[in-house]
Amino acid sequence: MTESITITDNRTGESVEVPIENGGVDASAWKTLLPGLWFLDPAFGTTASTESAITYLDGGAGELEYRGYPIEQLAEHSTHLEVAHLLLNGDLPTTAELDSWVDDITHHTFLHENFRRRIYDAFHYDAHPMGLLTSGVAGLSTFYPSSKEIDDPDVRMQQIVRLVAKMPTLAAAAYRFSKGLPFVFPRNDLDYTSNFLAMMFSIAEDDWVPDPALKRAMEILFILHADHEQNCSTTAARVVGSAHADPYVSVAAACAALYGPRHGGANEAVLRMLGEIGSYDNVDAYMERVKSGEERLMGFGHRVYKNYDPRARIIKDAAHDVFAVTGKNPLLDIALKLEEVALADPYFVDRKLYPNVDFYSGLIYQSMGFPTEMFTVLFAIPRTVGWLAHWQEMLEQDSRIARPRQVYTGERGRQYVPIDER
Ligand code: CMC
């Protein structure tokens, strides 16, 4: 039997029956009964803005799948570029497809010299790297005017390759700029993740390679951050993309959204919070301030997960592999105690607040030598794949421009008063 709901317009007595499909109802079916009537849904808490076949997320069960593959399997066996192919094309690649995809990405990593010299050099010496990255991605739009041809699938794929390939270069260049270090050119002999780490950390060593355990941890973190369905930044990319803006400015909009401390900026906020707490003994007092509403426990809570974020569990395990190489991060004990206290406290239990992806990732990044300001940048590099997968899916769906309704609560019909009479 098909489940359904019936809505009755009490003004006219007319009803419409709407089937419940895939856990929801199609709002457009209501339009026939209720033309012109809006649905108030601030922050889109109950609005599905699209159908999508990219990422499955069950927040209650704590399950996450990319194109049907559990995140745990991908984190264990895959590489970021293989996952990128999966997200963008729908299937895991064959060997030939993967070779060709990796080759394409490897040969599009360089930045135009004018870009590096004129755009990045225009920033203040201590500019936040997310500011550089966001502006830099938008700036790329002006270097590739053909990217405006968004209806051409080949042109679209060319920009996807460029963006996936150049994000690590842009990110590392932002870091080197902020440190006053010379830029390091991309290296074609290295894989995607090793190349990024080399552009970040090598100094006058042509044959620099990362520690294999740290490289694998970075790969896992890239995989875990590659997509998360209709989150704030992906929605930003889709909304801007729905106006048929080019992919560079659409991704720049997503970067801007990710920059916020409630979203991708949370990993940076977690580290600042742990530093502020300072010691194991101060955890209880801090938790009291959280419960009284003075603070938020950063890295906890999620709009969709009402269970342990599966990515947080994988990151927590990966942290031990990293600390085996770098030595234990001294802030780990504070983080573990915060988690232990929170998971036993009715405030957090009743609100279903669990660690999210950002709670442990910052500890790894810090131990690997990344400064706090780079944490959100490290989120943006892999998430570019997700943003582009959704941007492409949206264009293939023949979507309309995003344009929500509002409920107007202001005044009406006021008469203009000259300034000297107010
Ligand atoms: N610490 C303390 N209380 C919290 C927290 C928190 N981190 N998160 C939610 N709450 C409380 C909130 O005060 C509210 O309580 P009450 O019902 O008494 O008013 C209740 O839980 C529901 O919170 P909400 O603000 O309505 O939840 P939301 O779905 O709008 O917000 C969130 C989700 C992620 C913005 C929020 O949990 C938060 O600010 N967390 C900290 C920042 C963070 O870690 N963000 C990373 C999210 S995961 C990665 C990503 O997607 O970018």
The answer to whether the Cα torsion of 39, 41, 46, 50 is positive or negative is positive
Q: Answer with the residue of higher pLDDT: 8 or 220.
A: 220
The values of phi and psi at residue 43, to 5°, are 60, 15
Residue 121 pLDDT greater than 90, yes or no = no
Contact 338, 297 (CB under 8 A): yes
CA 384 – CA 255 distance, rounded (Å)? 9
- Give residue ranges with CB within 6 A of ligand 1: 231, 262-264, 266, 290, 296-303, 351, 353, 356-358
Residue 78 pLDDT greater than 90, yes or no = yes
CA 405 – CA 380 distance, rounded (Å)? 30
Q: In what order do the strands lie in the sheet with 69-70?
A: 55-58, 63-66, 69-70
Predicted TM-score of the model (pTM): 0.93
What is the average per-residue pLDDT within 213-235? 97
Mutate to test the pocket of ligand 1, among 351, 375, 376 (most ligand atoms within 8 A of CB): 351
Q: Is 358 a catalytic residue?
A: yes
Contact 368, 140 (CB under 8 A): no
- The region, left, alpha or beta by phi > 0 then psi within -120 to 50, assigned to residue 415 is beta
Q: What is the dihedral of CA 396, 87, 259, 63, to 10 degrees?
A: 120
In 3D space, the residue among 114, 175, 123, 105 whose CA is nearest the CA of residue 142 turns out to be 114
Ligand 1 centroid – CA 45 distance (Å): 13
* Cα radius of gyration (the chain): 23
- In this structure, the strands spanning 55-58 and 63-66 are antiparallel
Percent of the chain predicted with pLDDT > 70: 100
Ligand 1 centroid – CA 110 distance (Å): 39
CA 349 – CA 112 distance, rounded (Å)? 51
Q: How confident is the model at residue 258, as a pLDDT?
A: 96
What is the average per-residue pLDDT within 357-382? 94
Q: How confident is the model at residue 261, as a pLDDT?
A: 85
In single-letter form, the type of residue at position 355 comes to P
Q: Is 80 a catalytic residue?
A: no
Q: How confident is the model at residue 28, as a pLDDT?
A: 80
Ligand 1 centroid – CA 347 distance (Å): 12
Residue 398 pLDDT greater than 80, yes or no = no
**What's the Cα-to-Cα distance from 334 to each of 229, 353, 389, rounded to whole Å?**
31, 18, 37
CA 321 – CA 327 distance, rounded (Å)? 10
Ligand 1 atom closest to the CA of 290, numbered from 1: 2
In 3D space, the residue among 279, 267, 272 whose CA is nearest the CA of residue 333 turns out to be 279
Tell me, what DSSP letter sits at residue 50?
Answer: -
CA 263 – CA 140 distance, rounded (Å)? 24
Lowest model confidence (mean pLDDT) among 34-48, 75-89, 334-348: 34-48
Q: How confident is the model at residue 191, as a pLDDT?
A: 98
Ligand 1 centroid – CA 191 distance (Å): 37
Among the listed residues 85, 228, 302, 390, the single catalytic one is 302
> CB-based contacts of 213: which residues, under 8 Å, 6+ apart?
321, 322, 324, 325
CA 367 – CA 260 distance, rounded (Å)? 23
Residue 165 pLDDT greater than 80, yes or no = yes
The values of phi and psi at residue 70, to 5°, are -60, 140
Helix (H, G, I), strand (E, B) or coil at 66: strand
pLDDT-derived band at 113 (thresholds 50, 70, 90) equals confident
CATH class of the domain comprising 69-408: mainly alpha
CA triplet 415, 417, 418: central angle to 5 degrees?
A: 150
Q: Answer with the residue of higher pLDDT: 229 or 264.
A: 229
